[in-house]
Structure 1
Amino acid sequence: MMKLVWCGLLALALGLPALAQAQQPAKVKAKTKVKARSKGKTAPDWSRTYAATIRPEELRRHLTVVASDSFRGRETGQPGQKLAAAYLVKEFAALGLQGPVAGSDSPYLQHFPLIRGAYSADGFIRINGQRFDWLNDFFSYGPLVSPFRTETVSQPVFVGFGVEQGAYSDYAGLDVKGRDVVAIMGAPQDERGRKLLKATSGHPADYWDSGLRKAAIAKAKGARSIFLMTFAPKEEFAKEAGNYATALREPAFALPNPGPEIIDTVREDVPPGIGVYLTSQELGLQLAGTTLPGLLEYTRALGRAGRPVAPSFAPPVVIISQPQPQEQLITENVLGFLEGSDKKDEVLVISAHYDHLGVRNDTIYNGADDDGSGTVAVLALARAFAQAKKEGHGPRRSILFVAMTAEEEGLFGSEYYTANPVVPLANTIADLNIDMVGRTDRKHSPRKHFVNIVGSDKLSSELHRINETANRTYTKLELDYRYNVPNEPEHIYYRSDHYNFARRKIPVIFYTTGEHADYHKATDDVEKIEFDRLTERARLVFHTAWELVNRERRIRVDSNRP
């Protein structure tokens, strides 16, 4: 699962003083039988029959290979990831799955390029001869490529609070295409301190206050970058930024050619393709071209008017430099296709990411749970469906099994696939995504037979009911929806590959057991995997998939909450 570094940085941004504030075990083996009983003329329950072929020993056999030291942590673009891809190709081919990728050296491999770059420590912004330094006065956050790799002269645009809702728009009358914008953190208020942007269906009144959503709006308007003005004095800002210095110095990644763009103003992660920066109070005021009293007067005038007003100040010309040495690397998704029968043009995607963190300080991060567990579950599901087809009980709809790469770097494998699908997205009925399902997290007792369900009801109420019925009929796990609620603080819904399907209006379910003590640590190893529990969760995915691919009518999209 993609790390929450950037959401943590957002929390830092929202936690710094804002203008509005100046004026928040025991293992149990599943008992199943391979062959369904027949009582009289009762038809065999093939879903139960083939789900029972998913066994702990099979999952252990695969994971012992996938999460071994020989794969060197499967870091995107590195030799260990290539070895893992080759293993997955071999397994898909042995199952009789088709390779659906045209024009590739292997029909099972969807190659694509990534840009990798590390931020340099000597970035700066110069305004009227005064220099402001990276990590002391500002920092960039998000897995993004710097738009200021060489010294760049800019004339920023001040956009107030950088929000809009209905008739209220801080961007009214402004052309910010290709420009750098400066926005105040916080929310516009009236003279009584009440928010001017009201709550709407599904969104609280502070929904558009988030720095990430301000960035998404700026991206949608065509801006090159956005500087989010906090009101932390330089010393406090530098101290807080120092807490994230290690993460901020890690390499950043980007897709050079992601394909058709999806404008997304509700994403709870850094939007791709725009530089996003937090600034200290001093730098923010300089970028806006004003003083603290001048900015306070602007907000009071806005509050009196109840709408955006023209500021009495204007940003000066600035010089921005954030060097970032870059390299291009090639990575690949691994795809296996099982053709359906009478409804074969409709396709269910079953996905997991197989990349992990690689080697750091000579220590291998094997990622047995993240996401070796999901990867081997996909292999087991593929074998169960392939066996069903071989024995004459194959699915009516087709199934595309996808092992995604570059999830840890920013969901890039799924972003690339959904922009360059091998099956038209219009024919894709759903994505069932599996990421970290082999352990018990900190929130559950080791005795609990559970799985967290995320996103099942956001686009299709039918999908949600199908999964619940499958669990009630077969696996009887505790389905935990704690990560599926609005404004969930860990932003789990936005942190794995299903999200790139959801933002393109394809129904999804994300199966996960959440973070544990070994999450993103070198101690996430095979011996800590609870294979009986992993088996139960994989069987639930199978039963849900079985219904999706064999029902008479494809599920409907009847909601719009991606």
Structure 2
Amino acid sequence: MRASLLGLSLLATPALAQAPAISVDTLRSVTQTLSSDAYEGRKPTTPAEDKTTAYIVAQFKAAGLKPGVDGGWFQKVPLVEITATNVSPLTITGGSAPLALAFRSDVVLKSYRVVPHIAIKDSDVVFVGYGINAPERGWNDYAGLDVHGKTVVILVNDPDWQSAARTGLFEGKAMTYYGRWTYKYEEAARQGAAAAIIVHDTEPAAYGWGVVQSSNTGPQLELDEAGDHMTESAAVGWMQLDKAKALFASAGKDFAALSEAAKHKGFRAVPLGVKASVSFDNTIRRQASKNVIGILPGKTAPGEYVLYSAHWDHLGHCDPVKGDGICNGALDNASGVAGLVALAQAQVKAGPARRSIVFLSVTAEEAGLLGSRYYAEHPVYPLSETVGGVNMDVLNVKGRTHDFEITGAGKSELEDLMKTLVEAEGRVVKPEPNPERGSYFRSDHFSFAKLGVPMFDGGAGEDLLVGGEAAGHAATLDYIANRYHKPQDEYDPKWDWSGAVEDLTLYYRLGRELADGDQWPNWYKTAEFRAIRDKSRAAAD
């Protein structure tokens, strides 16, 4: 509907139908290779990193890309690795019954502070509801409260996450950034909390305790920045839901009643009258990781850039399941890197476009989008001259679908471009079925969005050509429950790549339309990223 505003020529769509074929052999071989045990789960700053990044460079070279960083392929990303050791139980005293929550099984804790030892002693515990301070929405869970030196207990997601609709103060069923664990830690730190602990509940978190455990224990990565993250809370983590209920019961409080109260405007934080103590050591290692960057230079506007991205990292060695202790990350995200390589092959085969096309495989997504965040904050190519692009994180191997879903729909004019392309395929665009999972804030496109660059994220829906919505939804739930961030995320030669090819063809066409055109898609006027994009483009002009 915004074709005229974007300078689109819808007549270009039939020509794009002649796009080079996406190579299924590439998708299979790259995914299988990167997710094999030989790559040890692709943990950044381990020996597996050099093997992984060298393989991606070889694939980029073979595809015909040029080195993307001053004649080389790598952007160094300074990281600090912090490993919590000798973690004491989290003890709760002062209530009707003392509690000792065991590390890993009951609670996970870590610190972003680059210090050798963390000790929290007799810290007052306060329930701060959803831990949100949103003045533009008239909401502040910290109102009238001083939590300096205290331990805050926080609910996951937004207050209205159980709403069936997508409207409301916090957009109803659709998670806002206020619902993400990253925001809750950030706000707790701004408020001065010594510790911030989120109550794990599988449904609003959108993943089980096993994911929390594997992602928050062992070596943890953060960007290595001045100040050693001393403005962060000393300890952050999660606790099991039943342990939170036990904590509240010991404090003489009703967890269910307070959780219900926290959903409503005007809620005020509740001191629990108990104290928390915990200590642990940090093993610290500073080491740079790498983003891998290739480029197909543009013909007539080489200083304007279209971007494809996919993270190469995964969790490395993790908690064993049936004797298997490698989190191979086949779908997450060896498949996305395979898509990146396949798109590079297709774009090179089509020849240079008007603008340059950049292929970015970033590090440390699993550690909190660190590689994409570093690129966005230290761009090789100016963000003001980056038109937009596509991020890929987990391809569809369930088969072709009738539908296509846009993650975080309602934010960017890229959606209008994609909708036209999807409909030209005879498919329909549907709303994201589970916006409460906050997927828009969980992958690398978000790093660019925060700094104004429109990046598209989406993919096949659940309405399979074979099996329909029931089969598609069952496959999604099975992946989340049984393979996501677990050793079972392994390559399967029986996967059906036809749906991935269909989606990647859309990504090719969107990228080519942007690269051959002169439009500058923006965020919708209601999007939270519009102002920074307008400022960036005004400066460039």
**Is the TM value for this pair above 0.5?**
yes
- Aligned counterpart, 2:6: none
Alignment of 1:135-150 (within 5 A): 135=102, 140-141=107-108, 145=112, 149-150=117-118
For structure 1, which runs of at least 5 residues remain unmatched after alignment? 1-41, 190-197, 231-240, 262-270, 441-445
Please say if residues 124 and 131 of structure 1, whose CA atoms lie closer than 8 Å, have aligned partners that are also in contact: no
2:169 maps to which of 200, 207, 218 = 200
Please say if residues 111 and 332 of structure 1, whose CA atoms lie closer than 8 Å, have aligned partners that are also in contact: yes
Shift, 1:405, TM fit? 2.2
- Partners of 1:77 and 1:96 lie apart in 2 by 28
1:88 maps to which of 56, 72, 83 = 56
- Aligned counterpart, 2:5: none
- Aligned counterpart, 1:275: 236
Partner amino acid for 2:449? Answer: A
Q: Give the number of the structure whose alpha-carbon radius of gyration is greater.
A: 1
Does 397-406 or 250-259 show the bigger shift? 250-259
Shift, 1:323, TM fit? 3.9
- Partners of 1:97 and 1:415 lie apart in 2 by 23
2:81 maps to which of 115, 118, 126 = 115
- Partners of 1:452 and 1:172 lie apart in 2 by 38
Partner amino acid for 1:321? Answer: S
- Aligned counterpart, 1:443: none
Partner amino acid for 1:491? Answer: G
Please say if residues 458 and 561 of structure 1, whose CA atoms lie closer than 8 Å, have aligned partners that are also in contact: no
- Partners of 1:401 and 1:438 lie apart in 2 by 20
Partner amino acid for 1:459? Answer: K
Shift, 1:468, TM fit? 1.5
Please say if residues 77 and 374 of structure 2, whose CA atoms lie closer than 8 Å, have aligned partners that are also in contact: no
**Number of residues of Structure 1 aligned to a counterpart in Structure 2:** 469
Asked if 1:151 is matched to 2:115, the reply is no
- Partners of 1:309 and 1:532 lie apart in 2 by 52
**In the superposition, relative to structure 1, how do residues 362 and 127 fare at CA in structure 2: closer, same or farther (>3 Å)?**
closer
Please say if residues 32 and 491 of structure 2, whose CA atoms lie closer than 8 Å, have aligned partners that are also in contact: no
- Partners of 2:423 and 2:221 lie apart in 1 by 42
Shift, 1:250, TM fit? 3.4
Please say if residues 122 and 323 of structure 1, whose CA atoms lie closer than 8 Å, have aligned partners that are also in contact: no
Partner amino acid for 1:545? Answer: G
Please say if residues 398 and 549 of structure 1, whose CA atoms lie closer than 8 Å, have aligned partners that are also in contact: yes
- Aligned counterpart, 1:253: 220
- Aligned counterpart, 1:345: 303
- Aligned counterpart, 1:495: 442
Asked if 1:226 is matched to 2:196, the reply is yes
SS of equivalent residue, structure 1 residue 370: helix
- Aligned counterpart, 2:142: 171
Asked if 1:548 is matched to 2:514, the reply is yes
- Aligned counterpart, 2:380: 422
Render the CA deviation track for 1:200-233: whole Å, top value 9, x for unaligned: 3735799899694654532443544325689xxx
2:364 maps to which of 397, 406, 418 = 406
- Aligned counterpart, 1:354: 312
Partner amino acid for 1:275? Answer: V
Shift, 1:345, TM fit? 2.9
**In the superposition, relative to structure 1, how do residues 337 and 201 fare at CA in structure 2: closer, same or farther (>3 Å)?**
same
Asked if 1:459 is matched to 2:459, the reply is no
SS of equivalent residue, structure 2 residue 375: helix
Please say if residues 156 and 181 of structure 1, whose CA atoms lie closer than 8 Å, have aligned partners that are also in contact: yes
- Aligned counterpart, 1:382: 344
Partner amino acid for 1:481? Answer: P
Shift, 1:530, TM fit? 2.4
- Aligned counterpart, 1:332: 290
- Partners of 1:414 and 1:143 lie apart in 2 by 22
Shift, 1:155, TM fit? 5.3
- Partners of 1:535 and 1:346 lie apart in 2 by 27
1:481 maps to which of 431, 442, 463 = 431
**In the superposition, relative to structure 1, how do residues 340 and 255 fare at CA in structure 2: closer, same or farther (>3 Å)?**
same
Partner amino acid for 1:370? Answer: D
Shift, 1:349, TM fit? 1.6
- Aligned counterpart, 1:48: 17
**C-alpha RMSD of the superposition:** 4.9
**In the superposition, relative to structure 1, how do residues 480 and 369 fare at CA in structure 2: closer, same or farther (>3 Å)?**
farther
TM-score when scaled to structure 1?
0.67
2:395 maps to which of 430, 437, 443 = 437
Partner amino acid for 1:493? Answer: Y
Shift, 1:134, TM fit? 2.9
Shift, 1:165, TM fit? 4.9
For structure 2, which runs of at least 5 residues remain unmatched after alignment? 1-10, 160-166, 201-207, 461-475, 530-541
- Partners of 1:77 and 1:141 lie apart in 2 by 23
- Aligned counterpart, 1:533: 499
Render the CA deviation track for 1:76-112: whole Å, top value 9, x for unaligned: 333333212102112323445333335x9x4434343
- Partners of 1:427 and 1:541 lie apart in 2 by 20
- Identity value in percent: 23
1:510 maps to which of 436, 457, 475 = 457
- Partners of 2:77 and 2:187 lie apart in 1 by 31
Please say if residues 123 and 322 of structure 1, whose CA atoms lie closer than 8 Å, have aligned partners that are also in contact: no
- Partners of 1:43 and 1:186 lie apart in 2 by 45
SS of equivalent residue, structure 1 residue 332: strand
- Partners of 1:209 and 1:414 lie apart in 2 by 21
- Partners of 2:439 and 2:180 lie apart in 1 by 18
- Aligned counterpart, 1:397: 355
2:334 maps to which of 367, 372, 375 = 372
Please say if residues 314 and 366 of structure 2, whose CA atoms lie closer than 8 Å, have aligned partners that are also in contact: yes
Shift, 1:332, TM fit? 1.8
Render the CA deviation track for 1:121-171: whole Å, top value 9, x for unaligned: 523346579964233899555886478943334654857544445455443
Shift, 1:329, TM fit? 4.7
- Partners of 1:242 and 1:62 lie apart in 2 by 30
SS of equivalent residue, structure 2 residue 361: strand
